[in-house]
Amino acid sequence: MPNISKDTSVQTVITTFEMTPATCQDALDALTEAYGVFISKQPGFIAAGLHVNDAQTRIANYSQWARREDFQAMLRTPEMRKRNRAINELCKSFEPVMYEVAATFG
């Protein structure tokens, strides 16, 4: 379960994917399978969530990692490089960005 807190030392990564409604479900399926089979089993993985907009033109992915290096190591594996090439074919673009929590509310 993601823990969104300013007082945490985890690495937060938010990735946005842009696609057409025709490829949204395929991209979501590929991401769901990648998390279920591979990403969630990598060292340092804490939690993640996938969100789809109403128009099915964007997917937002929120993930947390113990360390920045854990996320980077996962991206560099041959398995994830292969998966990212396939996901890229379904998207107009996607961009992972590392963030620090600046503030939380609620």
Tens digits of residue pLDDT in 20-67: 999 999 999 999 999 999 999 999 999 999 999 999 999 999 999 999
Q: Is the pLDDT of residue 1 over 80?
A: no
pLDDT averaged over the chain? 94
**φ, ψ at 44 (rounded to 5°):** 90, -10
pLDDT given at position 61: 97
Return the CATH number of the domain spanning residue range 11-99: 3.30.70.100
**SS3 assignment, position 85:** helix
The pLDDT tens digits for 78-102 are 999 999 999 999 999 999 999 988 8
The string over 52-86, giving b where at least 16 C-beta atoms fall within 10 Å of a residue's C-beta and e elsewhere, is eeeebebbebbbbbeeeebbeebeeeeebeebeee
d(CA 90, CA 84): 10
